[in-house]
Amino acid sequence: DAGVTQSPTHLIKTRGQQVTLRCSPKSGHDTVSWYQQALGQGPQFIFQYYEEEERQRGNFPDRFSGHQFPNYSSELNVNALLLGDSALYLCASSSGAVNEKLFFGSGTQLSVL
Amino acid sequence: GENVEQHPSTLSVQEGDSAVIKCTYSDSASNYFPWYKQELGKRPQLIIDIRSNVGEKKDQRIAVTLNKTAKHFSLHITETQPEDSAVYFCAASRGHTGGGNKLTFGTGTQLKVEL
C-alpha cells in the first residue's frame, strides 16, 4: 500500500520562474492538502482539494494555484517565484468528509535563487 | 483565524525520563488535535490525535490530554528513548464541520533524549 508520494524531491529555480509540484495521495484517499514548511517552522496551510475543487485556502497569494485530477492526484503551481518561496512543500492526503487524519508525503524541497 | 502556540521550543531530557509539550489554541470551534513527529529530513508522521469529546487518550508510551475550557492540550511521552529525538508539532482543526480539515500547526518542539 503506497503512501503519499511527491515529485520531484528537490528543485532549484530562479526568481520569476514558474514551478509545478506533483502529489499522489495514499490509496483510498480522495482529499489532498498542500502545506509550505519554512526552515525551523511548522507547516503552513496553502489549500485543499476535494472532488477536483479547491475547498479551503490559506493566506497565500494567487501566485499559488492548484489542481486535482479525477484520479485524486494533485498539482501545486507557483508563478513568479520569489526568494521567500524557498521551502519544503508538503502534500497531505485524507479520506473525504469522514476522517480528519492527514498523512504527509516526504515533500519537495524548493530552492529559489 | 486559528492561532496555535507551542512550548517549549527545545526540550532536553535524560533517557527514561518523561517529556511534556504544551500547546494552546485560540479558536473555540476547533475540535480535532493531532500531534506529528518529524525527524530531520523526513515527513511529519501522525503519532496520536484527540477529538474534543475526549479528555485524554493514550497509546503505549504516548498520551495526549485536552482541556477545552482552557483551550490547551499536551503531549506526554514516558520512558523516553533516543529514537524519540525529533521535532514534535501540535496542530488544531475544526475538522469537517469547518468545511475542510485544515490544520493550523504550532511552531514545533525540538526534543533531544540524551543517553
User: pLDDT for A41-93, tens place per residue?
Assistant: 999 999 999 989 998 899 999 999 999 999 999 999 999 999 999 999 999 99
Tell me which chain B residue has its CA closest to the CA of residue A98. B96
Q: What is the pLDDT of residue B41?
A: 87
Cβ atoms of A87 and A110 within 8 Å: the answer is yes
Q: Is B95 helix (H, G, I), strand (E, B) or coil?
A: helix
Cell of A33: 492538502
Q: What angle do CA B34, B40, B45 make, to 5 degrees?
A: 25
Residue A97 has pLDDT above 80, yes or no: no
Q: What is the pLDDT of residue B95?
A: 77
Q: What is the pLDDT of residue A25?
A: 95
Instruction: Look at A103 and B102 and tell me if their CB atoms are within 8 Å.
Output: no
Tell me which chain A residue has its CA closest to the CA of residue B94. A100
A41-72 b/e (C-beta count within 10 Å ≥ 16 → b):
ebbbbbbbbbeeeebbebebeeebbbebeeeb
Q: What is the pLDDT of residue B56?
A: 94
Q: Which of B6, B46, B99 sits opposite A101 (nearest CB)?
A: B46
Query: How far is B56 from B54, CA to CA, in rounded Å?
Result: 6
Could you tell me if B102 lies within 8 Å of chain A, comparing CB atoms?
yes
How many Å is the maximal CA-CA distance in chain B? 46
The more confidently predicted of residues A38 and A98 is A38
Q: Which of B45, B100, B105 sits opposite A42 (nearest CB)?
A: B105
- The C-alpha of A69 sits at a distance from chain B's nearest C-alpha, in angstroms, of 18
Q: What is the pLDDT of residue B18?
A: 98
Q: Is B108 helix (H, G, I), strand (E, B) or coil?
A: coil
Instruction: Look at B99 and A103 and tell me if their CB atoms are within 8 Å.
Output: no
How many Å is the maximal CA-CA distance in chain A? 41
Confidence of residue B1 (pLDDT cuts 50, 70, 90): confident
Cell of A59: 493566506
At residue B59, φ and ψ (nearest 5 deg) are -140, 95
Residue with C-alpha cell 488535535? B33
Instruction: Look at A43 and B32 and tell me if their CB atoms are within 8 Å.
Output: no
Tens of pLDDT, residue by residue over B13-71, are 999 999 999 999 999 999 999 999 999 989 999 999 999 888 999 999 999 999 999 99
Q: What is the pLDDT of residue A100?
A: 77
- The C-alpha of A80 sits at a distance from chain B's nearest C-alpha, in angstroms, of 26
DSSP one-letter string for B53-94: T-SEEEETTEEEEEETTTTEEEEEE-S--GGG-EEEEEEEB-
Q: What is the pLDDT of residue A48?
A: 93
Average pLDDT, chain A: 94
